[in-house]
Structure 1
């Protein structure tokens, strides 16, 4: 008799918590920016779009230092930086971050100087340095400087009576070396010119000045060209751009404040002057000047990054909206209206008959606006409840919530005041809503409310019926045009009853609740994801087909990764589409051989989160606001919702998962060494996932 082999779980296996099985979260986040920068290199991408990608990388790098590096340095300084799952000590990690950032910055400026600048100029779009100004342009720029710029500047000579000033986060500054004496007989050595934020960072030269077209000048270039006009009587020996980045994490102890909005407002007032973490300086800045700046900002040489070009290169992206060149941008498209919602149709009637799926940006966000518009005016609507994380200042949704409150609806809005870099906008939003009688709550102490959900209560035929909108993305109309997200409109009682309970919990500080369909963090989402992974593992161990496909923005939760490793060892086939940082190592022998990881970087920011489990043929599909990250699963209010309609679930699988896995032009494949390689069609026809949906859903 043949002896059966022991179950996979009983076999000797590697230690799945071993540090060598994990990539660094910070280094993985940096690698994402190399993939974005590749879009700036790609000749198949329209030229102005390539410029925009370059600007996006600069913006991402700012935030990386303001948040990730700032927190890492803080913990390292105070000896509280315990290594992550990758086991890299904080000092070593900071050194490795610096080395990789130097690579990124070098490639960024090489792209600007060697590719984008010359190619833009060939198209008549010029960023002119002062050595290339014509005489007429110089005269115009000098007049502009004297009348528009100089009156708002306050150049500061440095001496014992004029100490080094406070420098605001991410502002443009010029360090000036002087020779000579002032009116009081004092010898000048050093001065600083701070560019107020009221000044435009890019100046457009009028075409009539020199018969040209689209000519632009960086403000830094203008300041350096006419720096002698700011210091009459002195000889300017040299002038050098610099920019400091500061810690932007807010440290409000929520449990110790009585009014979170007031406490955040006070904290925000000082964020622009928090501890510095990075100094960007001109490539030609002398060592003595660099040393002076480093000492004044209490930084180290390792915090200095030299820029072979404008230190605020992020501003180059501004011209994207200024230049009317459709031939240098992605072709325009019109998002389609969902087939279930025709013009003028009652939204409640449509949703009441069948769930409505929205796939942005291919389908219009206007359907969400229309739902709220009808709800705000409908006399049968009694209550509206909504979460707002990032809404944008120009969203029509806020106007409709105001209108609903004025029309006598009971309106409750959960506003997350701590949405990073949107805190001030959200405080203003909360104030505006409160002024018209909207009940505004700020979520739960210690947990960011990241869930995207809306609930409408309507009286129909003597009974109350609830309608819900759930989404993977924010209620932000501008983002809905450039982010890929999934939204669901439903009147299914099991889901709307769950949503009612969640809102009750958020506004009433209620106990843990039992939900029938929704998965909620920090309570059931993590446990459910783990249980579903383990269920697939058990199916594989029993010899059944088993598969997991998930689409995420990021993956770094160590226990989820260990569960995926165990599933792979058991025989589960796992495909992960992770746009940003992924700390799992795929393809490791005996650990993750059946796990494949890819990242898609294209025209739109991949933002939808979708989890699919084969479940022995009875597949389950969830969409949600949560990545498989420790913060999303443990420290935020998140909601994942099932797609119960089989036809809609099949559509989500096809459009987000199968379509993404078939991409061989915009996808990047992650190797076990942490390196990404761009996918190529090979012998297969080229497949661009985003373009496929543009053609299928928008006819573009």
Structure 2
């Protein structure tokens, strides 16, 4: 146990994240999935890579400028990480587009979802496209002449078309003027070309329907513009044109010590992010070397920042095709969410929770029940106050509407709105202002920290006195993503948790030191110590001849102190099972270091998002849910919660949920000590798909409860 831990015990965080995206890409390559689901996974990998480039690569570039000699826990300096990331990123992009061209696109075509190619289509489709261009596109878009010294600031991730024109006029007009293969200048004496830019913008849909022979014909907007591009330049000859987009650094944070107005400061951050330093240039691989060099110099990019794309730039358009009507047979069978089996639509949520805690597993059980609780509280005359943290919400949030309604009904409503929630800042600013106008007391988080906790407290006057009803969760108050993310909700009126929750909330709103809490742990002051103490407890039991066991499900395992604690526990003999969806910097199965540690990652139709922990504690098992992953940012730089699940029924159910994930042998990837993953196979055992098992369990419980309710006579009482 006293033997020092090896220096190479950590994996690189960035490469671990890219390995996760490769697991998502494997779903897109899975022939057993319906073709539109495979297309959706391709779109997800594209969006994932966009965010990675904006945040992680952007951050590495800043690190290289400010502290080039700093080594990460895996021993790599920033430039080494950038080189490794560029190599792996190019590899992933190559695989993405090969899969798109060779498999996904042909199978969508065979199913009737047809990408129109105007160079090969018949007259019907061509004239439909021409009409669409002339009526809808040409009046909207405008070309702009550009030079190296006069290049406009283009927003990140916006599609553009670059056009290379010869200086000498050419009388030939029409689409045929666009050469598909770049040509050398024929102007003599090396006379330079001129360039023009056509920003595509967001006013027009990128996927445009085109009538033709197929059931669903479509063309991408940039392809339509490229085909008829000469219409923008009458009397000029178009030498070439191609689509491209820039990715800009989004790792820009607010310097709160310099911002007197947080709202105004965040709006400046959003504007800075739109036009920050580029970190990636993607372009059609048909682009000439001259044109690419023109763009590279205009944006001061390095060679490793260039991505030549053999296909459409940005595959996220496949999200739109996934939702096209009339092709249900090309998508997953629906798994409609059910209410929790104890929730009766004819009973108030307060009555149901008062009978005992409820643990809900989303998206199999409806998040609507949480929304319903807040909506009932908004108009309940006995509710005195509602206190809630909002990190991410939906565009038309019913939760926000309920809080506003509650304030209008004279209730004391306090909302902590995290303005620094990356990529949701603009929406949160809008909600904050709207709620303030409605009379909600709005707190903009905590100075220097992000408030990431998921908590709602409802204070209600009842015959026995004031009762606190609470919701604790692992996911956001967003009813849209709650249909796509696997999360846990705990509804309770437990007195101890109520006292802790109130003390926690008052500490945030009152800018004070929180009182010591009885059951709940909060970051940045308590969760790290709590987790390390729990791990150490299992370690000591093993060292004393007992048994130690840890099971945990998190989205990321990056924190070196937690990893080292797990290594020490493994050396002592603690059995450790980890379900880590994304980044994992721990090396499992290393002799003398982590032989008792097993790591799996589940990638399936729903995004695994729940954080669940179980510690054996000599047989007196303790279970927790949390908003925090095991990362430095969550444990040290965010306001997070770790909630014990003590109710016997809820605890037993949470154990079953956690155990189900570790039984998965169809969508679970087993991690090797070198950071590579291998997809589990059932072999001689029965196939277990954890997400299907969880859904079928919910359906069975709901059907049983529903049948019982329908077979019971219920008299109508006075006042009902």
TM-score when normalising by structure 2: 0.93
Contact 2:113 2:214 in 1 (8 A): no
Secondary structure (helix, strand or coil) at the match of 2:15 reads helix
Equivalent residue number for residue 36 of structure 1: 24
Secondary structure of the corresponding residue to residue 526 of structure 1: helix
Q: Which stretch shifts more, 104-113 or 242-251? A: 242-251
Q: Of 260, 272, 276, which residue of structure 1 is paired with 2:274?
A: 272
CA shift at 1:334, angstroms?
A: 2.2
Matches of 1:29 and 1:192, distance apart in 2: 35
1:615-637 Cα shifts (integer Å, max 9, x gaps): 00011000010000000001000
Q: Is the counterpart of residue 325 in structure 1 residue 312 in structure 2?
A: no
Which residue matches 1:432?
A: 434
In 1, distance between residues paired with 2:56 and 2:257?
A: 24
CA distance in 1, matches of 2:58, 2:126: 41
User: Which residues of 2 match residues 415-494 of structure 1 at below 5 A?
Assistant: 415-461=417-463, 463-494=465-496
- Of 189, 196, 203, the residue aligned with 2:194 is 189
CA–CA separation in structure 1 for the residues paired with 2:58 and 2:207:
29
2:517 to 481, 496, 515: 515
Query: Once the 2 structures are TM-superposed, how far is the Cα of residue 79 of structure 1 from its aligned partner?
Result: 2.8
Which of 393, 402, 405 lines up with 2:404 in the alignment?
A: 402
Aligned to 1:116: 104
Task: Give 1:696 deviation, angstroms.
Answer: 1.7
Specify whether residues 169 and 81 from structure 1 end up closer, same or farther in structure 2 by C-alpha distance, changes over 3 A only. farther
Q: How many angstroms does 1:167 deviate by? A: 1.5
DSSP-derived class of the 2:196 partner: strand
**Is the contact between residue 214 and residue 323 of structure 1 (CA under 8 Å) also seen in structure 2?**
no
- Alignment counterpart, residue 589 of structure 2, candidates 587, 601, 615: 587
| Greater Cα shift, 504-513 or 442-451 | 504-513
Cα distance in 1, alignment partners of residues 232 and 466 from structure 2: 70
Structure 1 position 288, deviation (Å): 1.4
Q: Which residue of 1 aligns with 2:713?
A: none
1:457-514 alpha-carbon deviations (Å, 9 max, x no partner):
0111262111110000000001111101110011111001100011101111011320
Q: Secondary structure at the match of 2:198?
A: strand
Q: Is the 8 A contact 2:5 2:593 kept in 1?
A: no
Instruction: Indicate whether 1:170 and 2:164 are aligned.
Output: no
**Partners of 1:687 and 1:315 in 2: how far apart?**
33
Q: Does 1:198 align with 2:197?
A: no
Structure 1 residue 250, shift from structure 2 partner: 2.9
CA distance in 1, matches of 2:212, 2:63: 55
C-alpha displacement of 1:128 = 2.2
Report the Cα distance in structure 2 between the residues aligned to 1:267 and 1:60, rounded to whole angstroms. 22
Return the offset for 1:78. 2.6
| Greater Cα offset, 280-289 or 622-631 | 280-289
User: Aligned-pair distance for 1:181?
Assistant: 4.0
Q: Distance in 1 between matches of 2:332 and 2:371?
A: 26
User: What is the DSSP-based 3-state SS (H/G/I as helix, E as strand, rest coil) of the residue aligned with 1:220?
Assistant: helix
1:80, CA displacement in angstroms?
5.0
> In the alignment, is the contact (CA less than 8 A) between 2:504 and 2:514 conserved in 1?
no
- Give yes or no for the alignment of 1:50 onto 2:29: no
Cα separation, 2, equivalents of 1:611 and 1:485: 13
CA contact (8 A) 1:14 1:591 kept: no
Question: Shift of the alpha carbon at 1:403?
Answer: 0.8
Query: Counterparts of 1:102 and 1:269 in 2: how far apart (Å)?
Result: 29
User: Following the alignment from structure 2 to structure 1, what is the Cα–Cα distance between the partners of residues 349 and 219?
Assistant: 50
**SS of residue matched to 2:413:** strand
| Paired position in structure 1 for 2:174 | none
SS in 2 for 1:686: coil
Is the Cα contact below 8 Å between 1:182 and 1:188 reproduced in 2? Answer: no
| Aligned residue runs from structure 1 range 21-420, under 5 A | 21-79=9-67, 82-159=70-147, 163-181=150-168, 189-205=194-210, 209-420=211-422
> In structure 1, what is the Cα distance between the partners aligned to 2:510 and 2:74?
40
Please name the residue that 2:674 is paired with: 673
Q: What SS does the corresponding residue of 1:21 show, helix, strand or coil?
A: coil
Q: Deviations over 1:494-553 (max 9, x none)?
A: 001100011101111011320101110001100000000001000111111110000000
Aligned to 1:661: 662
Count of residue pairs the alignment pairs up: 682
Deviations 1:33-78 (A, max 9, x none): 1000111111121111110100000000000010000010111023
Please report how far the alpha carbon of residue 243 of structure 1 lies from its aligned counterpart in structure 2 after TM superposition: 0.8
Query: Which moves more between the two structures, 614-623 or 364-373?
Result: 364-373
Q: Deviations over 1:432-457 (max 9, x none)?
A: 10001100001111110000000010
Deviation at 1:159, TM superposition (A): 4.9
Q: Distance in 1 between matches of 2:117 and 2:432?
A: 45
Corresponding residue SS for 1:152: coil
Distance in 2, Cα, partners of 1:159 & 1:329: 46
In structure 1, the partner of 2:690 is 689
Aligned to 1:5: none
Query: What's the counterpart of residue 602 of structure 2?
Result: 600
**RMSD between superposed Cα atoms in Å:** 1.6
Partner Cα separation in structure 2 for residue 419 and residue 191 of structure 1: 37
Residue of structure 2 equivalent to 1:3: none
SS in 2 for 1:151: coil
Q: Tell me if the contact between 2:386 and 2:413 (Cα under 8 Å) persists in the aligned partners.
A: yes
Q: Distance in 1 between matches of 2:164 and 2:65?
A: 33
Q: Mean Cα displacement is larger for which, 314-323 or 497-506?
A: 314-323
CA distance in 2: counterparts of 1:166 and 1:382, whole angstroms: 51
1:188 offset after TM fit, Å? 5.7
Q: Indicate conservation of the 8 Å contact 1:152/1:196, yes or no.
A: no
CA contact (8 A) 2:556 2:630 kept: yes
Give the deviation of 1:138 after TM superposition. 1.3
Instruction: Decide which moves more: 282-291 or 470-479.
Output: 282-291
The answer as to whether partners of 1:333 and 1:698 remain within 8 angstroms in 2 is: no
Tell me, in whole angstroms, the C-alpha distance in 1 between the residues paired with 2:692 and 2:558.
29
The 1-side partners of 2:464 and 2:45 are apart by 56
How far apart in 1 are the matches of 2:505 and 2:89?
Answer: 43
Equivalent position SS for 2:550: strand
Q: What is the rounded CA distance, in whole Å, between the counterparts of 2:505 and 2:341 in structure 1?
A: 30
1:201-259 CA distances to partner (integer Å, 9 max, x unpaired)?
A: 11111xxx334311111111101100111111111111121110001133311123222
For 1:593 and 1:564, the matched residues in 2 are separated by 11
Contact 2:469 2:492 in 1 (8 A): yes
For the 8 Å contact 2:550–2:575, the answer to whether it is kept is: yes
In 2, the alpha carbon distance for the partners of 1:582 and 1:267 equals 30
1:576-595 per-position Cα deviation (integer Å, ceiling 9, x unaligned): 00000100000111000100
TM-score by length of 1: 0.95
The answer to which of 579-588 and 311-320 deviates more is 311-320
Instruction: Give unmatched runs, 5+ long, in structure 2.
Output: 171-190, 704-720
Contact 1:552 1:608 in 2 (8 A): yes
Matched residues in 1 for 2:295 and 2:547: separation?
62
What does residue 15 of structure 1 align with? 5
- Counterpart CA distance in 2 for 1:175 and 1:334 is 45
